[in-house]
Amino acid sequence: MSQQRQSPGAGRAAGERLAVDWIACDGRGLCAELLPERVGLDEWGYPVLEGQALTADLLPDARRAVAACPKLALRLQPC
Amino acid sequence: MTAPQALVEERILTQGAGTGKYRDLDVHLAEHGPVPSTPGPALVTLVEQSGLTGRGGAGFPTARKLAAVAAGSAPVVVANGAEGEPASSKDRVLLSYAPHLVLDGLQLACRAVGAAQAYVYVHEGPLVAHLENLVRARARRGVDVVVPTVVAAPARFISGQETAVVSAINAGPALPTSAAQPVYVKGVDRRPTLVQNVETLAHLALLARHGASWFRGAGTEREPGTMLCTISGAVASPGVVEVPIGTDIADLLERAGGPSSRLGAVLVGGYHGAWLPAPTAAELAMSVAGLRDAGASPGAGVLVALGADSCGLVETARAVGYLAQESARQCGPCMNGLPAMAHALGELARARPTPGLADRVQALALAVDKRGACHHPDGTVRLVRSALRVFAAEVRSHQGGRCGATDLRPVLPVPAPMAGPR
């Protein structure tokens, strides 16, 4: 997955994906605001992660979302 | 709740079956002999050759678990007898009836992984004092090299989940955790921890005495040995039986006296398991391989027979209400989604002509599936989806405002809610 060759730049898989620590997550929803391309919210306000590997162009926003989580519940992990 | 009596004499449930009689150490030693002195590495090899798998529900190969824990330093072993599943009694029957096999197995597991510390973990209740007495008696006689500590947990559905077990022994709440590392790397006292179901340990105690080929003399090539099953519902003699893995479900029901009425469905694998139509279930083998294509698995060996005159939706709604109440309320989708699912199922069970209820249940199932720290939401979803599939005709008639069931006596057991703070 991480070595997938597509058009350079935008669509390239970054070899990382988002994961939620469900016990820590409180449904504050900042992740969905900072990375709407990949994070939706369920009817109770908890994140619904869309897709698998993040593409390189989304990685900066994903890192921002991880850093902004007030419960430290969002993380990036290799995939 | 009194544990059903053991019905059939096999490897584990060998003598005095049906009496529920506690076996003292002398009786045990006379029948089985002392704990074999097989060295640790040879034990791991023996387990590998035997093909023994965990009997707590997940069915993980025991040898791989042993090897993973043995690779760490100063490991800990836990005999897990916290049987949260309301429709299962096999661990309680085992601990009441053949506890010394479990305690022998615990010694062997300690030797296999090089552990000098061990625990016996059970629900609060009469088993705690019973096991403490047995542990003391064995210590006095010098039977055990590692004298285990008995730890009691609240009698909740999820308190036997592996990370909950470790948390409780570490003096935390008996609830699942989302630790970064698995318990076999970092568990009790941050040390590598082997958590093994008590039935698995009893099999280990026999396997060490009789060898791998004896062990493989029952069961299937891929899933060897016997298993304890708890059979209840619409059968003549509900209880715990020991059977070779892969026994047809029809034969298992016969071992419990046979159906007591015409059957509509069978719940296979417990409250995190799946409903199957009775004619389908009857022809399937009680094994992972035998049930996989039907979307079921043996779990901890639970079968509940449902009469054709009972309502599968009413039964499922009650069970899901219980499962929602048993949520640890730690993870948002489980904490919110399970009560919502229970509510929608309850409405469906009451046969109020409300359109879209089944769709609502399906949408909620999708919203909670695999979105928790443990498998409680996933298992509940499995049960719910199987109910909508197997009881599809009932769903249609209920949505039209009509329930065809004539027997509304409860079949699936649901413990009373616990008093006081959780």
DSSP codes of every residue in B54-73: -SSSS--BHHHHHHHHHTSS
The average pLDDT across B61-68 equals 96
**Under an 8 A CB cutoff, do A44 and B372 touch?**
no
Q: Say if A32 falls within a structural domain.
A: yes
In which band, very low, low, confident or very high, does the pLDDT at B344 lie, cut at 50, 70 and 90? very high
Please say if the pLDDT value at position B208 is more than 80. Answer: yes
Give the residue from chain A lying closest to B375, CA to CA. A22
**Under an 8 A CB cutoff, do B178 and A46 touch?**
no
B190 alpha-carbon distance from chain centroid: 26
In this complex, the residue of B176, B332, B367 whose CB is nearest that of residue A25 is B332
**Under an 8 A CB cutoff, do A23 and B178 touch?**
yes
Q: What pLDDT is attached to residue A7?
A: 42
Residue A5 φ/ψ, nearest 5 degrees: -100, 115
Side-chain-facing half-sphere of B332: CA atoms under 13 Å: 19
**Picking from A26-35, B3-12, B267-276, B285-294, which range would have the lowest pLDDT averaged per residue?**
B3-12
Interface membership of B333 toward A (CB under 8 Å)? yes
B98-154: pLDDT as tens digits: 999 999 999 999 999 999 999 999 999 999 999 999 999 999 999 999 999 999 999
**Residues B203, B53: contact at Cβ < 8 Å?**
no
**Helical spans, DSSP H, in B71-147:** 90-97, 99-113, 126-140
Q: Quick one: B104 and B200 in the same domain?
A: yes
Q: What pLDDT is attached to residue B255?
A: 94
**Residues B155, B125: contact at Cβ < 8 Å?**
yes
Given B258, B288, B307, which residue is the final one in a domain?
B307
The DSSP 8-state label assigned to residue B408 in this structure reads -
Q: Quick one: B297 and B346 in the same domain?
A: no
Say which residues have a Cβ less than 8 Å from residue B231's Cβ, sequence separation at least 6.
Answer: B238, B239, B240, B241, B252, B253, B255, B256, B303, B304, B305
Interface test with A, best of B371, B374, B378 (most A CBs within 10 A): B371
Give the integer Cα–Cα distance in Å for B32 and B97.
14
Give the residue from chain B lying closest to A45, CA to CA. B332
Residues of B in contact with A26 (CB under 8 A): 332
Give the integer Cα–Cα distance in Å for B195 and B261.
40
B202 alpha-carbon distance from chain centroid: 15
**Under an 8 A CB cutoff, do A22 and B330 touch?**
yes
Q: Quick one: B316 and B303 in the same domain?
A: no
The CATH number assigned to the domain holding B97 equals 3.40.50.11540
Q: Say if A71 falls within a structural domain.
A: yes
Interface membership of A27 toward B (CB under 8 Å)? yes
Q: Quick one: B320 and B246 in the same domain?
A: no
Interface membership of A23 toward B (CB under 8 Å)? yes
Strands B302-307 and B263-268: antiparallel
Give the integer Cα–Cα distance in Å for B313 and B392.
10
Give the integer Cα–Cα distance in Å for A79 and B364.
28
Q: What is the amino acid identity at position B3?
A: A
In which band, very low, low, confident or very high, does the pLDDT at B15 lie, cut at 50, 70 and 90? low
Q: B53 - beta bridge partners?
A: B61
The CATH number assigned to the domain holding A28 equals 3.30.70.20
Q: Quick one: B297 and B333 in the same domain?
A: no
Share of chain B above pLDDT 90, in %: 88
**Under an 8 A CB cutoff, do A42 and B333 touch?**
yes
Please say if the pLDDT value at position B419 is more than 90. Answer: no
Q: Quick one: B334 and B281 in the same domain?
A: no
Q: Quick one: B85 and B57 in the same domain?
A: yes
**Residues B175, B146: contact at Cβ < 8 Å?**
no
Q: Say if B126 falls within a structural domain.
A: yes
Categorise residue B211: left if φ over 0, alpha if ψ from -120 to 50, beta otherwise. Answer: left
Q: Say if B176 falls within a structural domain.
A: yes
The average pLDDT across B295-323 equals 97
Q: Output the six-digit token pair for B70.
A: 């043995």
Interface test with B, best of A31, A41, A42, A72 (most B CBs within 10 A): A42
Interface membership of B375 toward A (CB under 8 Å)? no
Give the residue from chain A lying closest to B336, CA to CA. A44
The model's pTM: 0.92
Residue B210 φ/ψ, nearest 5 degrees: -110, -15
Give the integer Cα–Cα distance in Å for B203 and B91.
13
In which band, very low, low, confident or very high, does the pLDDT at A1 lie, cut at 50, 70 and 90? very low
The CATH number assigned to the domain holding B316 equals 1.20.1440.230
The average pLDDT across B243-262 equals 96
Q: Output the six-digit token pair for B63.
A: 């040898």
Q: Quick one: B166 and B232 in the same domain?
A: no
Q: What is the amino acid identity at position B184?
A: Y
H helices, E strands: number in chain B: 17, 9
Q: Quick one: B87 and B195 in the same domain?
A: yes
Say which residues have a Cβ less than 8 Å from residue B190's Cβ, sequence separation at least 6.
Answer: none
The average pLDDT across B69-89 equals 97
The average pLDDT across B253-277 equals 97
Q: Say if B248 falls within a structural domain.
A: yes
Please say if the pLDDT value at position B380 is more than 60. Answer: yes
Place of tokens 């009698």: B155
In which band, very low, low, confident or very high, does the pLDDT at B22 lie, cut at 50, 70 and 90? low
Q: What pLDDT is attached to residue B179?
A: 84
Categorise residue B353: left if φ over 0, alpha if ψ from -120 to 50, beta otherwise. Answer: beta
B156-180: pLDDT as tens digits: 999 999 999 999 999 999 999 998 8
Task: Chain A: give the shortest CA distance to residue B180, in Å.
Answer: 9
Q: Say if A26 falls within a structural domain.
A: yes
Q: Say if A11 falls within a structural domain.
A: no
CA distances from residue B43 to B95, B112, B169 in whole angstroms, order as listed? 23, 6, 26
Q: Quick one: B295 and B372 in the same domain?
A: no
Rounded to the nearest integer, the mean pLDDT of chain B is 93
Say which residues have a Cβ less than 8 Å from residue B377's Cβ, sequence separation at least 6.
Answer: B331, B333, B334, B337, B338, B368, B369, B370, B371
**Under an 8 A CB cutoff, do B333 and A45 touch?**
no
Give the integer Cα–Cα distance in Å for B318 and B325.
11
Residues of A in contact with B334 (CB under 8 A): 22
Q: What pLDDT is attached to residue B187?
A: 97
A9-61: pLDDT as tens digits: 455 677 899 999 999 999 999 999 999 999 999 999 999 998 778 999 999 99
Q: What is the amino acid identity at position B232?
A: S
**Total count of domains within chain B:** 3
Q: Quick one: B118 and B206 in the same domain?
A: yes
Q: What is the CA radius of gyration of chain A?
A: 12
Q: Quick one: B44 and B185 in the same domain?
A: yes
In this complex, the residue of B176, B177, B367 whose CB is nearest that of residue A42 is B367
Q: Output the six-digit token pair for B207.
A: 């396997």
Which span out of B55-64, B93-102, B114-123, B355-364 was modeled with the highest average pLDDT? B114-123
Interface membership of A46 toward B (CB under 8 Å)? yes
**Total count of domains within chain A:** 1
Strands B193-197 and B76-80: parallel
In which band, very low, low, confident or very high, does the pLDDT at B417 lie, cut at 50, 70 and 90? low
Please say if the pLDDT value at position B251 is more than 60. Answer: yes
In this complex, the residue of A20, A23, A44 whose CB is nearest that of residue B330 is A23
**Residues B383, B320: contact at Cβ < 8 Å?**
yes
Q: Say if A6 falls within a structural domain.
A: no
**Helical spans, DSSP H, in B162-277:** 162-169, 198-210, 212-215, 249-255
Interface test with B, best of A18, A21, A23 (most B CBs within 10 A): A23
- Which uninterrupted H or E stretch holds A31? helix A30-34
Work out the angle at residue B17's Cα, subtended by the Cα atoms of residues B16 and B21, and round it to the nearest 5 degrees.
60
Work out the angle at residue A65's Cα, subtended by the Cα atoms of residues A64 and A66, and round it to the nearest 5 degrees.
90
In which band, very low, low, confident or very high, does the pLDDT at A4 lie, cut at 50, 70 and 90? very low
In which band, very low, low, confident or very high, does the pLDDT at B355 lie, cut at 50, 70 and 90? confident
The CATH number assigned to the domain holding B252 equals 3.10.20.600
Give the structural domain span for B248: 226-307
